[in-house]
Amino acid sequence: MAGQHKISVRDMNVWFSDKQVIHSLNIDIPSNEIISVLGPANSGITTLLRSLNRLSDLNPAMRVEGEILLDGNNIRDVSVTELRRKVGMVFDVPTPLPISIFDNIAYGPRLSGTKNMKNLTGIVEQSLREAALWDDVKDRLYTPAMSLSGGQQQRLCIARVLALKPEVILLDRPCSGLDPLSTAKIEESLKNLKAQFTIIIAPHNVQQASRVSDHIAFMLMGHLVEHGTAEKILTNPKDQRTNDYLTGRFG
């Protein structure tokens, strides 16, 4: 049963200090597909994503209860660094570290002990190609990553996650500050990547969700309202609230 799903979330409750931000959430996420977690601000989507790679551990006020299974194994049972290498994350603003493009991509592999320069060069090139950034930066790998444009920086962040050889990629509104052309490029890369990875994205609007998703989950105020195939949710949602959100009545 669990084997078919990449990630299974069971009875997840999350508190931020005294405030409950996610209420008894259950969801199965299939492999090699793009699932969008859609909803207005403060729905608990970021919290959900950050719980999946235990980045929530960094915040002492955050308490996560319930089970999260990755390939059937509880994520609390593996080492947190190993988990984060398997479940990579791209943030809502581009976050290049203030080092060169090469060093940004090589950051993860180096942490896990890859020192050989030939191997690193290979990983960097492959990751940048997969993120469709190689042609833009191949002649200036050793220049500061901060000098790239916003869209390039975000693709750099995707490449940096790919360099980890992850199994799951979380993207938290990755295009929220980007122009339409950069957004299109990133969406294109995501579609190419889903053959190898399971992708969970918080899209920045309904249109993006409809463009990239195989599955869509709709969240509202910490509750998972419904989820299903993109086609079903977009054309025939069961819940009135989902329908209202999709048609722009709120949110």
Partner 1 sequence: MMKGSSRVTENIIKTLIWAAALSVLTVLVVIIAYILIRGLPVISWQFLTEIPRNMGRSGGISSTIVGTLMVTLVAIVIATPFGIGTAFYLAEYTRRDSMVTRVIRFSAESLAGIPSIVYGLFGFIFFVKYLGMGWSVLSGGLTLAIMILPTIIRTSEEAILAVPNLYREVSYSLGGTKWQTIVKTVLPSAIRGIANGVILSVGRCVAETAAVVLTAGSALRMTTSLTSPTRTMAVHFYILASEAISFENAYGTAALLIILIFLINVVANTLINRFIAKGR
Is residue 93 within the footprint of partner 1 (CB under 8 A)? yes
Q: Are 67 and 11 in contact (CB under 8 A)?
A: yes
| Under rule CB under 8 A, residue 195 binds partner 1 | no
Question: Between residues 95 and 205, which has the closer beta carbon with respect to partner 1?
Answer: 95
Q: Which one, 39 or 96, has the nearer CB to partner 1?
A: 96
Looking at the Cβ atoms of 3 and 113, the one nearer to partner 1 is: 113
Beta carbons of 119 and 113 less than 8 angstroms apart? no
H or E element at residue 147:
none
Smallest distance from the beta carbon of 242 to partner 1, in angstroms?
A: 30
Instruction: Answer yes or no whether residue 119 interacts with partner 1 by CB under 8 A.
Output: no
* Using rule CB under 8 A, residue 16 touches partner 1: no
- Burial class of residue 177 (count of CB atoms within 10 Å of its CB; 0-12, 13-18, 19+): middle
Q: How many whole angstroms separate alpha carbon 243 and alpha carbon 233?
A: 9
> In what order do the strands lie in the sheet containing 34-38?
87-90, 168-172, 198-202, 34-38, 215-220, 223-229
Contacts with partner 1 by CB under 8 A lie at 53, 55, 58, 60, 81-82, 84-85, 88-89, 91, 93, 95, 97-100, 103, 107-108, 110-112, 142, 144, 160-161, 164
